[in-house]
Amino acid sequence: MKRADAKTTAAAAAPVTKGKEKKKGKENYRPTRNACKLCAPLGAALAFKGFSKTIPFLHGSQGCATYIRRYLISHYREPVDIAASNFSEEAAIFGGQKSLLLGLENVCRQYRPEMIGLATTCLSETIGDNVPMFLKEYRKGREDGPPVVHVSTPSYRGTHAEGFHEAVRAVVESLATAPETPSREGINLFPGMVSPADIRHLKEIFKDFETEVTILPDISETLDGHLWSEYIRMPEGGTPIQKIRGSGRARASIEFGRVLSGQKSAGKSLEERARVQCFSLGLPIGVSESDRLFQTLSELTGHRVPERYNAQRERLLDAYVDGHKYVSGARAILYGEEDLVIGLAAFLSEIGITPVLCASGSKSGLLKEKLSQVTPDISKIQVEEGADFSDIEEIAAQSAPDIFIGSSKGYRIARALNLPLVRAGFPIHDRIGGPRIIHLGYQGAQALFDRIANALIEKRQSDSKVGYGYM
């Protein structure tokens, strides 16, 4: 039988042109080849999965929900139920009100959700469905029903990263109430698109600081759950609806993401509306960015950093030293959501790895500026916003990299260049355990450091003819 792996990859077959040629502007338009981004409704659906007993609902064609489910399931390996209004041709012509109302009713009957997260798709946006008005109509006589939070996420605007943050903002803006006088009950944390393992770790940290935290959204249980004895329509876990409502009474909010810090966000919206001060931090990957988190927590709570985290930090520094010669001087290709790329770049610069390419499918216009805040020499880094994997491949081929760090979607490029790929972020479609990858805090950096150092060691070991059993 013929084998696929003996053949050239499409990647290798593609003629190389310079990625730099791709600049914005109509005359220089280039189609997207192997996108390094997903559509906004995916991000919104993912965010909604992190709120208690919330069913994501896409107002549009059936395929959107099905494709997004398949994509999320392949990473999380958990059931991901997403309802859709399942547009017919009639709805596309005459408007989707009927489909939406019937859909909401059916989903309430079959799922009995505590909240419905309603995201629009490009179809319903393009035909101009007035969803807020439809919802007002729907509410009549159903005042006691579950809240329906609407977020506008046409896939021709932004990427999954924006869809995620917009959905979180929509939830907070619709549910959180502003108290008459500011109160100081716990801290809100907006972690962004991080893994269930990351969120579990963050919960531990807050617990050790003896501080009540509301994590928005919290996918730690809903997308990395247990075996069941019956079908659970909406898994346990997620931010309780009561706590979302109460987030306006928190003493402060912390949001992760240096790019997010320059954009509209749930945290900043809450600050404006309810005077909950919002602290924007980078995604806490590596020592320095994690230090900022622990420092902020220490200041906000009045507690000293718990001893176990000092110990984790010391152990991490010891590991940095033990492993530095295996990683120092290495050149990495980073890609993914902008804030993940920045977080990883901050971490890599601590251990002497240069991220020679930092690429994202998003286009915030902020990536370079924010990267320069966390890396010693931005001139050594090629920064590409709005990049696709073909751009990444072309640039990588010319930048003599040693390692790829990012989602599984970079695998074929890394393979074509015979380089290791350390999997991080989302999606991980070719390995078990994507949701259990930890990136954040000293503990996350420790795990990443070990994996990156070992990948480089393994590469040297397997490339060598000697067969060293001692590295």
Partner 1 sequence: MSQIEVLKDRKSQIHLKGSEPFEMTCDRHSLSGSVSQRACVFCGSRVVLYPIADALHLVHGPIGCAAYTWDIRGALSSGPELHRMSFSTDLQETDVIYGGEKRLYAALTQLIDQYQPKAAFIYATCIVGIIGDDVAAVCSRVSREKGIPVLPVHSEGFKGTKKDGYRAACDAMFKLVGREDTADVSPFSINILGEFNIGGEAWIIRKYYEKMGVQVVSVMTGDGRVGEIGRSHGAALNVVQCSGAMTSLAEMMQKEYGIPFIRVSYFGLEDTAKALYDVARRFPDNPEILTRTMDLVKNEIRAIEPDLKEYRKDLEGKRAAIYVGGAFKAFSLIRALKTLGMEVVLAGSQTGTDEDYRILEQMCDEGTVILDDANPVELSKYVIEKDADLFIGGVKERPIAYKLGVGFCDHNHERKIPLAGFIGMYNFAKEVHSTVTSPVWKFAHRRRRV
Which 120-149 positions form the footprint of partner 1 (CB under 8 A)? 121-123, 126-127
- Binding part of the chain for partner 1, among 62-70, 188-196, 198-206, 351-359 by CB under 8 A, reads 62-70
From the list 142, 76, 140, 78, the residue with the least C-alpha distance to 107 is: 142
Segment near partner 1 (CB under 8 A); pick from 83-91, 185-193, 212-220, 307-315 = 83-91
Stretch that binds partner 1, among 105-113, 291-299, 325-333, 349-357 (CB under 8 A): 105-113
User: Is 13 near partner 1 (CB under 8 A)?
Assistant: yes
39 binds partner 1 (CB under 8 A): yes
Residue 471 engages partner 1 in binding (rule: CB under 8 A): no
Q: Does 83 help bind partner 1 (rule: CB under 8 A)?
A: yes
Give residues 296-325 in contact with partner 1 (rule: CB under 8 A).
none
Q: Does 447 bind partner 1 (CB under 8 A)?
A: no
Shortest distance (Å) from residue 2 CB to partner 1: 5
Q: Which of residues 155-184 bind partner 1 (CB under 8 A)?
A: 155-157, 159
Interacting residues of 441 by C-beta distance below 8 A, sequence separation 6+? 201, 202, 205, 284, 290, 293, 309, 312
Contact status: 421 vs partner 1 (CB under 8 A): no
Query: Is residue 462 near partner 1 by the rule CB under 8 A?
Result: no
Fill in the DSSP letter of residue 78.
S
- Least Å from the CB of residue 170 to partner 1: 19
Cα angle, residue 443 at apex, residues 438 and 444 outer, rounded to 5° = 30
Q: Are 120 and 128 in contact (CB under 8 A)?
A: no
- 164 torsion bin: left (phi>0), alpha (psi -120 to 50), beta (else): alpha
Instruction: List the beta strands (DSSP E) in 340-414.
Output: 354-359, 382-384, 403-406
Binding-site member from 38, 241, 276, 293 for partner 1 (CB under 8 A): 38
- Which residue pairs from 196-199 have beta carbons closer than 8 angstroms and sit at least 24 positions apart in sequence? 196/76, 196/220, 196/221, 196/223, 196/224, 196/435, 196/436, 197/224, 197/435, 197/436, 197/437, 197/438, 198/438, 198/439, 198/440, 198/444
Instruction: Name residues contacting partner 1, limited to 230-249 (CB under 8 A).
Output: 230-233
Which of 91/383 has CB closer to partner 1?
Answer: 91
> What is the footprint of partner 1 within residues 340-369 (CB under 8 A)?
none
- For residue 167, the minimal CB distance to partner 1 (Å) is 15
By beta-carbon proximity to partner 1, the closer residue of 172 and 395 is: 395
Q: Which amino acid makes up residue 399?
A: S
State the number of binding residues for partner 1 (CB under 8 A).
Answer: 86
Task: Between 157 and 459, name the residue whose CB sits nearer to partner 1.
Answer: 157
Residue in this structure with the two tokens 């930090």, named with its chain if needed: 313
Out of 104, 259, 416, 456, the only residue in the binding site for partner 1 (CB under 8 A) is 104
The only residue of 44, 46, 47, 107 in contact with partner 1, by rule CB under 8 A: 107
Nearer to partner 1, 11 or 176 (CB): 11
Please give the helix or strand (H or E) that residue 296 lies within, else none. Answer: helix 286-301
Do residues 168 and 263 touch, judged by C-beta distance below 8 A? no
- Which tokens hold the place of 351? 């251990």
Residues in region 373-402 near partner 1 by CB under 8 A = 390
For residue 3, give Cα distances in angstroms to 7, 13, 264, 295, 414: 8, 17, 50, 55, 20
